[in-house]
Chains A and B, each alone.
Chain A
Amino acid sequence: MLLPEEAGGYDFGHRAAGLVAEEMGRNLTASPFLSTAVLSAIALRQAGGEHLSEWGPKIAAGEAVMALAIDEGAKHNPSRIKATAEPDGNGFILNARKRAVFDGYNADRLIVAAKSGDETCLFLVDPSAAEVDVERNAMLDSRNAANIQITNLHLDGKDLLCPLDKGTEVLEATLRSGRAISASEQLGVAREVAERTTAYLNERKQFGVPIGMFQALQHRMADLYCQIEETASLISAALRSIDTTSDSAEELTRAAKAKVAKVSRLATEEAVQMHGGIGMTDEVDVGLFMKRDRVLTEMLGDSAHHIDFLLKRRGL
């Protein structure tokens, strides 16, 4: 969806991709959409060149799965990448220990972020190489992920996704798109659980009336609704700003990711509470949404991570 037409894509833009992701959030779809069609597609697109011509059409046709290997610890923090790419003749020797690589277990190619001196660089790595050890590590929300150990892997200059001095820029653009689209997915989670909870309030009776009659619950649902709607506007603004390459894209995206994490957590927590005992069981899907929600929050940075960025930008 996000690939240019010459690479086999439809170039629909982030707004359209956001709508798809929101639906996936509503349906709890388990698919490599984010890892492959968003993160990897944007990385390839930003880098351009041969890799895009080779892998773009395969992604577009649904023939290839690709994964971005960036996180190294429990928390997302791209400014602390420790993976190294030591120059070696015409190429590099790559050493990396990556965690929570979404869709990394069955990926055809990995995009691995590493440091070469001060530069951040991105490599296209074939996970079937002997120096690459891929260990499956499914997430709480049954998303497919992997821990990946790369030991002394010799790489060619042409395995670089883009020139060294463009690595940071490409990575930033990739993360920006990934954050905005994952925010849309999380919005879908929030909307779906909130709607299901509202329906339950109309249906479940206690004290002879639907529990939705109780103002203590009504006001909490109304507050949640308002917050979800303003979050939706913020996410739309972020997606639009990426499509129009506006200067505010980075800030809006960070804010959207931070905001949706808070709102979606509230939505899932209220959902469990307002469903009562049944909310703690697999009888209703609320628990599944709760798990997906928490994984999405950690993916590509939690609220604190992004808020810290925004505050620093404002000089505090």
Chain B
Amino acid sequence: MTSLDEFRMETRAWLEENCPQDMRKAVTTEEDICWGGRNWTFKSEAQKQWLERMAERGWTVPSWPKEYGGGGLSGDEVKILKEEMKRIDAMSPLESFGIWMLGPALLKYGSHEQKLEHLPKIARGEIRWCQGYSEPGSGSDLASVQTKGVDMGDHFLVSGQKIWTSYADKADWIFALVRTEPDAKKHKGISFLLFDMTSEGVSTKPIRLISGSSPFCETFFDEVKVPMENVVDERGNGWTIAKYLLTHEREMVSNLDAIFGGSAGLYETAVESIGLDETGRLDDPLLRADIGDFLVDEMALTAHLAAAKDFHRAGNQLGARSAELKYLGTELNKRRQSLVVQAGGLEALSGPEENSGIGNQSASWLRSKGNSIEGGTSEIMLSIISKAVLRLPSLG
């Protein structure tokens, strides 16, 4: 038996013993997903237990180094862990912007002290992070951010406004892009700052989405005191970190479906609401053709994401390829959700308005429209690809 086989057997046994029965099922509601943080209320004792047990082993962030609260697992071992979790339908113990985005950026650019301070708290689900990038005047043109940080010697005084800050009202800390070098060129004047959302001068105001929920906020900073040591990497190097972090965000968004449940619902919904003809085919040939096109594209994307994972595991950085995955994944998810609503007909269009999306067809459909906007729009992804991959000439 190879050491990987051994690892698989041990993992299987450990999961069998430690994963609570209640945590072995598909995600069907928003509350099934544990985001952690100071204000988190666990949905159940099982959810709490599951997080604690997994965090204890560092398996909420299995690939991170042990000294920072991770599991220290190799790429192959992480893959086995995921497979074994899937085998018993185990829910993810913890999801968060800390895991998806800030963690990888800190691992690459943070100081040892910053890593020791922040990563274990992310791993244990103690601190929940939000992302302060976009501003009212700076969306796609993110490097134009105007929120300013005035140098006061041992700290900055940060003032300005962010917008679309997902879960800002629930988060404990924020990573934000702040212009700290007013005289430097556009891309060179930004620093990547970390600060506590309970700091004096921070306030948030929720924004309601078309899908009914209010997951994101306007976030205001009024002379917020941020210690100098909370700058990640060098002052003025924030854009580099911001872009690196975005590659992780984009990779994650390309595969949202894996976290929030698959397409099985589409096929079931179609058969249930339309029925089959005498040859056993869906009794709506035009919808059937659209579903068929979708199905093939979904298989292609699945293969492509798996190939990207292998590429990653082999130690490569995705770089501009994350734009490719983000574009394909989010456009496909929009098609999926639109087909679900088409298949479900009026049934899919009824139901409570107040819903996060998960487990509600119309809310999921509406929410999916944001996929090709958040983390950089599809148009911006295509521009990145034409410039960085195809090397076509560009204006800027």
Contacts and interface: CB of A to CB of B under 8 A. Distances in A.
Interface of A: 198, 201-202, 209-210, 212-213, 215, 218-219, 221-223, 225-227, 229-231, 233-234, 236-237, 251-252, 255, 258-259, 262, 303-304, 307-308, 310-312, 314-316
Given A202-B391, A262-B293, A316-B281, 5 more contacts: A198-B392, A226-B328, A233-B307, A312-B281, A314-B295
B267 A234 contact: no
B287 to A, nearest CB: 10
B306 interface: yes
Contacts of B267: 314-316
A237 B381 CA distance: 25
Contacts of A258: 296
Interface string B230-266: 0000000000000000000000000000000000000
B392 A252 contact: no
Nearest to B308: A233
B271 A221 contact: no
Nearest to B332: A230
11 contacts: A209-B393, A210-B393, A213-B393, A222-B385, A225-B389, A225-B390, A226-B385, A234-B300, A252-B303, A304-B289, A308-B281
B303 A219 contact: no
B303 A307 contact: no
A255 B296 contact: yes
Contact of A215 (B281, B282, B383): B383
Residues of A contacting B: mostly: helix
B382 A316 contact: no
B307 A236 contact: yes
Contacts of B271: 315-316
Nearest to B283: A316
A304 B281 CA distance: 14
A314 to B, nearest CB: 5
B119 interface: no
A233 B291 CA distance: 21
Residues of B contacting A: mostly: helix
Contacts of A230: 297, 300-301, 303-304, 328
Interface of B: 267, 270-271, 276, 280-282, 288-289, 291-293, 295-297, 299-301, 303-304, 306-307, 324, 327-328, 379, 381-383, 385-386, 389-395
B324 A307 contact: no
Contacts of A310: 292, 295-296
Contact of B383 (A201, A222, A233): A222
A211 B381 CA distance: 20
A192 to B, nearest CB: 15
Contacts of A215: 383
Contacts of B289: 304, 307
A132 to B, nearest CB: 36
A233 B390 contact: no
Contact of A316 (B291, B297, B306, B383): B291
Contact of B390 (A222, A231, A234, A252): A222
Contact of A226 (B280, B306, B324, B392): B324
Contacts of B324: 225-226, 229
A233 B304 contact: yes
Contact of B327 (A201, A209, A210, A226): A226
Nearest to A308: B292
Chain A CB within 10 Å, residue with most, of B280, B281, B282, B385: B385
A311 B282 contact: yes
